[in-house]
């Protein structure tokens, strides 16, 4: 008998195809009759697969008495109620490492796009304005200071890229890291006051909710730019909009938002922002590697083998 799994998010074919070979898949996300699906199959569901930004609601998990494992197709698992999973012995896996370089590329791209105004420059050319004169002068990122909030796998890969373009790197985590030579800051506000680019790369969830608040943005200042490739929840979005509108900060480059896929209308209308639709890990190569990890975790679990990427809190 193939194990039954519940699909909680829209998943790409490169994950769905191998899943469907090994498991009986129930598509919760697409289902128009979620209650009916639960009534018919809830008792047999042994695994859930969702995305990094998915919320794994307790009310749903409680209705799945046979649930044994949640596999997150992403590195961030802030949507998973870990304490509840611990209590019930539900295993949780994610897809670390394989997406690190792609997400760091997007952070670098956002630094370059905001500093060199690459989107307005493209629009300028497309509008035929070049024949009337040159595009405005922009800001050189080299020589400027970048503060990375969350110097983990992705934060470090971002740091390497920023050093390569001549930026000075500082970081803020809950603890100073041994063998890291970048300047350490104890608080996000202290680092924001020091840097020109504040780059958010820490996990989402309750512990980091609105860590970048009005005070931090004010400290970043009118020559400062906020880059967020982590989670929308880490930044107080209303405070960010006010800071951009009031000119308290210079600009923002965002890949993530508080209520994805909905982006505040006020942000959409701003000139001094670059907005990407959560594409950090969105390459064919990386999504395939992430899909392989999800399948590897599931098959390991159902064959009684050690899980390749069990989240550290449950290890
Ligand atoms: P990681 O290796 O676990 O690194 C997380 C870093 O954040 C660690 O250095 C950690 O250090 C720090 N941190 C944790 N809590 C903090 C706090 N309260 N204040 C300051 N720093 C804190 O994770 P990763 O693989 O680099 O991934 C980071 C995040 O990127 C993920 O959780 C996910 O949300 C996001 N992400 C986004 C995309 C995208 O498509 N845009 C793709 C993948 C991942 P300490 O524990 O010492 O504080």
Burial (0-12, 13-18, 19+ Cβ within 10 Å), 142: exposed
Closest to 122 in 3D by CA, of 52, 112, 215: 112
Question: 66: CA distance to ligand 1 center in Å?
Answer: 31
Whether residue 270 sits in one domain with residue 303: no
Dist. CA 163–CA 172, nearest whole Å: 17
Does the beta carbon of 45 sit less than 6 angstroms from any atom of ligand 1?
Answer: no
Q: What is the DSSP string of 213-257?
A: -HHHHHHH-TT-EEEE-S-GGGB-HHHHHHHHHTTSS-EEEES--
Only one residue has tokens 């104890």, namely 186
Does the beta carbon of 311 sit less than 6 angstroms from any atom of ligand 1?
Answer: no
Whether residue 77 sits in one domain with residue 42: yes
Does the beta carbon of 228 sit less than 6 angstroms from any atom of ligand 1?
Answer: no
42 backbone dihedrals φ, ψ, rounded to 5°:
-50, -45
- Ligand 1 nearest-atom number relative to CA 106: 41
Whether residue 220 sits in one domain with residue 138: yes
Question: 267: CA distance to ligand 1 center in Å?
Answer: 24
Model confidence band, residue 38 (pLDDT cutoffs 50, 70, 90): very high
Question: 112: CA distance to ligand 1 center in Å?
Answer: 22
Q: Give the pair of three-digit tokens for residue 149.
A: 């909030």
User: Could you give the percent of the chain with pLDDT greater than 70?
Assistant: 100
Whether residue 67 sits in one domain with residue 21: yes
Q: How does pLDDT run across 266-311, given as a tens digit for each residue?
A: 999 999 999 999 999 999 999 999 999 999 999 999 999 999 999 9
Question: Which amino acid residue places its CA nearest to atom 25 of ligand 1?
Answer: 153
Q: Which residues are paired to 169 by β-bridges?
A: 146
The domain tally of the chain equals 2
Model confidence band, residue 99 (pLDDT cutoffs 50, 70, 90): very high
- Ligand 1 nearest-atom number relative to CA 155: 26
Model confidence band, residue 213 (pLDDT cutoffs 50, 70, 90): very high
Dist. CA 23–CA 139, nearest whole Å: 52
Does the beta carbon of 235 sit less than 6 angstroms from any atom of ligand 1?
Answer: no
Report the CATH number at residue 309. Answer: 3.40.50.720
Does the beta carbon of 201 sit less than 6 angstroms from any atom of ligand 1?
Answer: yes
Active-site residue list: 231, 260, 278
- Which domain range does residue 25 map to? 4-96+284-314
Whether residue 223 sits in one domain with residue 131: yes
| Residue 124 CB partners (closer than 8 Å, separation 6+) | 130, 135
pTM of the model: 0.97
Dist. CA 168–CA 76, nearest whole Å: 27
Whether residue 151 sits in one domain with residue 243: yes
Q: How does pLDDT run across 45-84, given as a tens digit for each residue?
A: 999 999 999 999 999 999 999 999 999 999 999 999 999 9
Handedness of CA 255, 208, 171, 247 (dihedral sign): positive
């Amino acid at each position: 008998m193939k194990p039954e799994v519940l699909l909680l998010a829209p998943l790409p074919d490169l994950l769905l195809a191998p899943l469907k070979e090994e498991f009986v898949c129930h598509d919760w996300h697409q289902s128009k009759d979620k209650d009916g699906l639960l009534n018919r199959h809830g008792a047999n569901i042994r695994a859930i697969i969702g995305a990094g930004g998915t919320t794994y609601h307790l009310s749903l998990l409680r209705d799945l008495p046979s649930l044994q494992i949640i596999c997150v197709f992403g590195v961030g698992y802030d949507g998973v109620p870990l304490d509840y999973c611990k209590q019930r012995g539900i295993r949780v896996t994610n897809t670390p490492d394989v997406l690190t370089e792609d997400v760091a590329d997007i952070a670098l791209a956002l630094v370059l796009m905001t500093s060199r105004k690459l989107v307005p420059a493209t629009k300028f050319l497309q509008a035929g304005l070049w024949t009337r004169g040159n595009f405005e002068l922009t800001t050189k990122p080299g020589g400027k200071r970048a503060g990375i909030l969350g110097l983990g796998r992705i934060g470090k890969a971002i740091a390497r890229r920023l050093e390569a373009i001549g930026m000075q790197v500082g970081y803020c985590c809950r603890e100073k890291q041994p063998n890291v030579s970048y300047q350490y800051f104890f608080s996000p506000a202290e680092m924001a006051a020091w840097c020109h680019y504040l780059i958010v790369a820490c996990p989402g969830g309750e512990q980091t909710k609105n860590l970048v608040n009005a005070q931090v943005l004010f400290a970043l200042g009118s020559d400062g730019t906020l880059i967020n490739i982590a989670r929308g929840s880490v930044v107080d979005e209303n405070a960010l909009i006010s800071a951009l509108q009031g000119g308290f900060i210079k600009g923002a480059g965002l890949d993530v938002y508080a209520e994805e896929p909905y982006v505040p209308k006020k942000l959409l209308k701003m000139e001094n922002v670059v907005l990407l639709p959560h594409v950090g890990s969105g390459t064919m190569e990386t999504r395939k590697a992430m899909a392989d990890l999800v399948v590897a975790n599931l098959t390991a679990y159902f064959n009684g083998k050690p899980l390749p990427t069990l989240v550290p809190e449950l290890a």
